A and B are shown apart, each in its own frame.
Chain A
């Protein structure tokens, strides 16, 4: 099991010996009875940055959403930190950057408020937002290249800036497994390099990163392994 899907050899497996962040075995994902993706085998270890690629409709998003429980696991097994997903409760260890998002609501929201909401899973009910939490939010804003934009209104940001704000929200929770669904779509090259640096830094601290990408771009330098899903007709 330790050697599965890891081309690094014995030395590497010794270093990272222990729990994998994400394991999918024979995974089938979809909505209700509609299967989008079948027969997925994937193991992601701490410190890895795994790119998931494939044509439109291959089920890249469905894979990520299936792991998170946002669509149905129809077959096989999904384990998070070696715990079967159905019994997994430590969702604060997992960060998620959704693909599409309309960050509009009826009430004005600042970038900082959005990013702080990503910290909530780390707090117990009724626990106050403390100095450590504020600090984590500052770091997250910086990691997404949004330092200094915290007080801006979300609605005033460009599409690319909004995507980075969503990345910052995920970073604020100090995730040990980070799942990103096309985080760099619509993001300019300079900001993509900031994002790449942030993901590399995260992986260095031992976090596992799974990133769905249509184009590698500047992230190519930090990706340690690429998984390609075969094309399919099913839309996600």
Chain B
């Protein structure tokens, strides 16, 4: 498997996406926004179609479309309008429908298939793609880990964060933009319809076993890399599509952890820190 250049590139891309997507997912799950990535994937399709039709780089146009979509979501959320829910649906399905229609207007000679974007085409990753992925992944991690504490504080209690003088709107916009970047980054690996799976399922796994927010981030990232690399390898040997295989492995991980948790229940729980520790004076 590793003797093929395209598989080495594919595995490298899988590591990058497997590491970054779950760190975004933990923040989204904390805010109970786990399906936002799915909606942004729909919007990204419009960007891809526009890119194909105008002969510009689909990754770039998809990035622009998702960032615009993510900012719109945050603005709607901040306004707390009663119709925000419907507005999101209009944007997401408008994006999906727009993509499907616009792509048929592609100039002659361009293969007009969206399949690679919808379900992923990991093995078509080029060296150039990988460099771009690495840059995007670094940006995403700088935010989800570097500003993790601020994002966490806002998610925990937005009103208190505002009263403490934190730039709440800016932080929410930052997470929205990073989500959009992750959607674009994961588009080639997983496909727009499956992206949310790799963002949210590892975070869901962490929910089952983690004992803090910080450990949730670490566990989600570890599970993300494992299923991402594992799924890519399995897809090579079993000749299955990579995106679907990766997400199925994440589902399997969730199932195993759930069963493990059920099995543990009933046995006395040895929770940490319930015994008072010596008093510290500072």
Contact A107 B164 (CB under 8 A): no
How far is B146's CA from A151's CA once the two chains are assembled, in angstroms? 23
Question: Of residues A106, A110, A135, A169, which shows the largest number of chain B Cβ atoms within 10 Å of its Cβ?
Answer: A106
Range, interface on chain A: 35 or more
A80 to chain B: closest CB distance in Å? 11
How far is B210's CA from A147's CA once the two chains are assembled, in angstroms? 22
Once A113-B213, A149-B274 are accepted as A-B contacts, the answer to whether A138 and B280 lie under 8 Å apart by CB is yes
Interface residue B5 (Cβ < 8 Å from any Cβ of A): no
Contact B282 A138 (CB under 8 A): yes
Contact A107 B159 (CB under 8 A): no
Contact B164 A91 (CB under 8 A): yes
Contact with B along A61-103 (1 / 0, CB 8 A): 0000000111000000000000000000111101010100101
Contact A91 B271 (CB under 8 A): no
Interface residue A148 (Cβ < 8 Å from any Cβ of B): yes
Contact B31 A147 (CB under 8 A): no
Q: How many residues of B contact A (CB 8 A)?
A: 42
Interface residue B207 (Cβ < 8 Å from any Cβ of A): yes
Interface residue A152 (Cβ < 8 Å from any Cβ of B): yes
Chain B residues contacting A89 (CB-CB under 8 Å) are 165
Interface residue A139 (Cβ < 8 Å from any Cβ of B): yes
Interface residue B149 (Cβ < 8 Å from any Cβ of A): yes
Contact B213 A107 (CB under 8 A): yes
Interface residue B32 (Cβ < 8 Å from any Cβ of A): yes
Of all A-B residue pairs in the complex, the 5 with the closest CB atoms, nearest first, are: A91-B165, A151-B273, A148-B276, A135-B282, A106-B29
* Chain B contact residues, CB within 8 Å of chain A: 26, 29-32, 34, 146-147, 149-150, 152-153, 155-157, 159-160, 162-166, 203, 206-207, 210-214, 216, 271-277, 279-282
* Chain A contact residues, CB within 8 Å of chain B: 68-70, 89-92, 94, 96, 98, 101, 103, 105-110, 112-114, 116-118, 120-121, 125-126, 129, 135-136, 138-139, 142, 147-153, 156, 169, 173
